[in-house]
Amino acid sequence: MHYRLYSPRDFDSLYAIEEMCFEARFRFSRKYMRELVSHSNTVTWIAEEDGRMGGFAIAEWARGASGAIGYIQTIEVAPDRRKQGIGRELLRRIEDSARAASAEAIWLHVHAENAPAIRLYEANGYVREGREEDYYAPGHAALIYGKPLEPELAN
C-alpha cells in the first residue's frame, strides 16, 4: 500500500469510499466533503495500491488560547481492504501531520456501535472522554476520544 497526500483529482474515488462506508443519512454531502478537503487547516491522506484508492483520512486543526488542537473528521477504509492495517497507518499519518502543525492533542467522535474503530483508537492511545447522544441521528450516539500528542522530535 502506498500513502500520499490528497490531490483534487482524487475526489471522485474518495467520495466513492464515503458512499461505500456510510448509509446516505450518515455520510458527508459531496459539497461538505469538497470544502473539507480543500481547507488550508486540513490534511487528507490517501491509501492506494495499483492506482486504486483503498482508504483515506481527513483531519483538521485549529489554534485556541492553549495552542493547536487536531480533530479527526474521518478515517475510512474500503470494505474489501479492511483488516490490513490501512486504518492504523492512516491514523499514524494523521497524527504526524497534526504534530507538524504543532497540535498538542487530537480528538474525534466515533459512532458508539463502531467496535472496530473504537478498538483502533484505544489500541493507539486514545482515551474515552465522553459521550454525545443523538450525535449522528436520533438514537445514534457518538463517543468522544482524545489523545495528547508529544511534540515532533528534530532529526
pLDDT digits (tens, 9 = 90+) for 1-48: 999 999 999 999 999 999 999 888 888 999 999 999 999 899 999 999
CA dihedral 106, 100, 90, 70 (to 10 degrees): 20
Beta pairing partners, 140: 137
Grid cell for residue 92: 499514524
Distance separating alpha carbons of residues 59 and 55, to the nearest angstrom: 14
Q: What is the pTM of this model?
A: 0.90
**69 phi/psi in degrees, rounded to 5:** -130, 135
Contact, 89 vs 77, CB < 8 A?
A: no
pLDDT in tens, 55-110: 999 999 887 766 789 999 999 999 998 889 999 999 999 999 999 988 999 999 99
Grid cell for residue 82: 479492511
CA dihedral 63, 64, 68, 74 (to 10 degrees): -80
Amino acid at 99: R
Q: If residue 5 lies in a helix (H) or strand (E), which one and from where to where?
A: strand 2-5
CATH architecture of the region 2-148: 3-Layer(aba) Sandwich (3.40)
Contact, 151 vs 99, CB < 8 A?
A: yes
User: Beta strand pairing status for 140-148 and 2-5?
Assistant: unpaired
Domain limits, the chain? 2-148
